[in-house]
Amino acid sequence: MTEKTTQNLDEVTIRFAGDSGDGMQLTGTQFTNTTAILGNDLSTLPDYPAEIRAPQGTLFGVSGFQIHFGSTEIHTPGDQCDVLVAMNAAALKVNVQSLILGGSIIVNTDGFNDKNLKLAGYPENPLKNGSLGKYKLYEVDISKLTALALQDLNISSKFVDRSKNFFALGMMYWMYNRPMDTTVDWLKEKFGNKPDIMEANLRVLKAGWNFAETTEIFNVRYDVAPAKLPPGKYRNITGNQAVAWGFMAAAKKANLDLFLGSYPITPASDILHELSMYKNFGVKTFQAEDEIAGITSAIGASFGGALGITTTSGPGVALKTEAIGLAVMVELPLVICNVQRGGPSTGLPTKTEQADLLQALYGRNGEAPVPIVAAATPADCFDAAFEASRIALKYMIPVFCMTDGYLGNGSEPWLIPDFDSLPDISTKFRIEAEGFFPYLRDETTLARPWAIPGTPGLEHRIGGLEKQNITGNVNYEPLNHELMVKLRIEKLERIANDIPLATVEGKPEGDLLVVGWGGTYGAIKSAVLREQQKGKSVSQLHLRHLNPFPKNLGEILYKFKTILVPELNMGQLIKVLRSKYLVPAVGLNKVQGLPFKSIEIETKIDEILKGKK
């Protein structure tokens, strides 16, 4: 037996790929949790088809999960992968181009029979014709080995086929020197009352590990040391889970019940699932009959004194549009969380995009200003949801909380916040009947009083018709309408006094400022860091608040010779920046349903700075 050696790596990107029924998302999630607990920094990219069980072996049925982890700070799921685990020919075909030259491919040879090859469009077997010579190819008959591991158990062949992903997981645990404990514990909890299934999965996992350990196919394993993250307690979290918890934390801090009105929609449904679990927190979740009932029930709940929220994706926002206008008019707190996906129309349900910014800014009839808060990373979704709730409650206004499919499904280690030191966002209801008017405004915020049904003496009527300032009576007078339109705009603008100033990462002036918003943060950050290491005069500014903008934004923009705005749309933030600050910004636009690779941004920066020192 050859001696096995261990090498140290700073960072690695692995992509698990197989049929959509092969359990690749589960495999990836298990590897991620184990890696997180080992203390690596990481970022993940689940990439799966909209079909739940697409026909086996087809190219469009391939489901992938990419994880980038390391001993250094990790900002993206990785531009290219170092290792590709391909469970069949189609998975190889779809993903091989994302593998670096010299990278490793671990294939399940059983997934390369004539039928598989035909479905994947391979005229001949790529494992046999030398076409993969640029890579390190490891051929393992995972299906057969899994079956052997389970042969003395009375288990259906269908189940055997389904558990082969754990064989692959076991191999990868060995290869990257990760303990199996986390997955073993998970299996015990998940299948505690199904001992047969638990036993079978455990066996397959260990068989994968043992195979890698004993066979001569693998003779190198790798160590990736823990990352030097800021001290504290961490957990891994997805964006959708973080949003849910952010809303719960906000409701708790404000001493209100949380009410979610929502309709299932990819990729936002996981927020509904998550919040539905916390009834013991008093969280009320309502799976409505449609998107409109989702938001209007939340408005009704807000009228009653709850923190009303609704979660959806772009097509759902389109349906909620009229109700958002109503919330603007009746001036009740509400948060609309848009987990953006590729559009227009049904578009690309499972793929990411950030093309709903202008919808959030302008997508209503009339002058209907709505504040917008955007999350930058999966864990940051917690803070974004909390901040959106804060603004909604303080200013009595509907607020957009923008995330996207990449953030919602992606995960990263999260420094668990101290609940007690989260900002105080307490609010109060109007109780005193004397001097009460429904549209009497707070001098600082211009918010109207929150007077909830059940309060004696404050009986009043609100609605979508224009209201007279202060009294709240229906009013169609020309000057009153103009006053109310302006008051609603000014209320939004005053939020700018109450949000942090924008900060530049890097030097406060120079050749190029890369301005971004939302889920592009990590890719921009990686690109800008590399440019800075090359000695280029490049800085980064990432916007949390998109309406209103931080007060110092213009001032910062004017200090740079060029502004680059990378967006996963055809140029939405850039339009707003150009019109508001009259800056000749340059766009970098991608609409492929995928996040930016940092190299794409780096290349654009190099192109702009060509010739500049």
Instruction: Give me the least distance between CB of 219 and another protein, in Å please.
Output: 30
Nearest to 404 by CA among 273, 310, 309, 267: 267
State the DSSP H helix or E strand holding residue 528, giving kind and residue range, or none if neither: helix 521-533
Cα(470)–Cα(486) distance, rounded to whole angstroms? 14
Name which of 455 and 589 has its Cβ closer to another protein: 455
Q: Quote the tokens at residue 22.
A: 């092969």
Q: Are strands 81-86 and 99-108 parallel, antiparallel or unpaired?
A: parallel
Nearer to another protein, 417 or 510 (CB): 417
Which of residues 207 and 275 has its CB atom nearest to another protein in the complex? Answer: 275
Q: CB of 606: closest distance to another protein in angstroms? A: 35
Which is nearer to another protein, 151 or 419 (by Cβ)? 419
358 or 452: CB nearest another protein: 452
134 vs 428 by CB, closer to another protein: 428
Q: Output 322 or 482, the one with its CB closest to another protein.
A: 322
Q: For the CB of residue 518, give the shortest distance to another protein in the complex, in Å.
A: 24
C-beta closer to another protein: residue 132 or 452: 452
Query: What DSSP element (H or E) covers 517?
Result: strand 510-517
Residue 457 or 508: the one with the smaller Cβ distance to another protein is: 457
Give the bridge partners for 307, in sequence order: 258
Nearest residue (CB) to another protein, 293 versus 527: 293
- CB nearer to another protein: give 334 or 556: 334
Amino acid at 114: D
Tokens of 269: 């449904």
Strand order in the sheet with 586-589: 538-543, 510-517, 560-567, 586-589
Cα-Cα-Cα-Cα dihedral sign, residues 487, 493, 494, 495: positive
Burial class (CB in 10 A: 0-12, 13-18, 19+), 280: exposed
Adjacent-strand bridge partners of 139: 107
Peptide bond connecting 267 to the previous residue in cis, omega within 30 degrees of 0: yes
Q: Determine which helix (DSSP H) or strand (DSSP E) holds 526, and give its type and residue range.
A: helix 521-533
- Pure H helices in 257-404: 269-276, 291-303, 314-330, 357-362, 380-395
Residue closest to 84 by CA, chosen among 73, 93, 75, 92: 92
Query: CB-wise, 427 or 547, nearer to another protein?
Result: 427
Backbone torsion region of residue 312, taken as left when φ is above 0, otherwise alpha when ψ lies between -120 and 50, otherwise beta? beta
Nearest of 360, 255, 381 to residue 307 by alpha carbon: 255
Name which of 479, 460, 478, 354 is nearest 405 in CA terms: 354
Strand, helix or coil for residue 13: strand
For residue 236, the minimal CB distance to another protein (Å) is 7
DSSP per-residue string spanning 332-375: --EEEEEEE-B-STT-BTTS---TTHHHHHH-SSSS----EEE-
Helix/strand/coil (H/E/C) assignment for every residue in 535-593: CCCEEEEEECEEECCCCCHHHHHCCEEEEEEEECCCCCHHHHHHHHHCCCCEEEECCCC
71 or 108: CB nearest another protein? 71
Give the H/E segment covering residue 603: helix 598-609
**For another protein, which is the closer residue by CB, 105 or 299?**
299
CB of 248 to another protein, least distance (A): 7
CA angle 207, 210, 214 (to 5 degrees): 140
Q: Shortest Cβ distance from residue 531 to another protein (Å)?
A: 28
**What kind and span of H or E run contains 284?**
strand 284-287
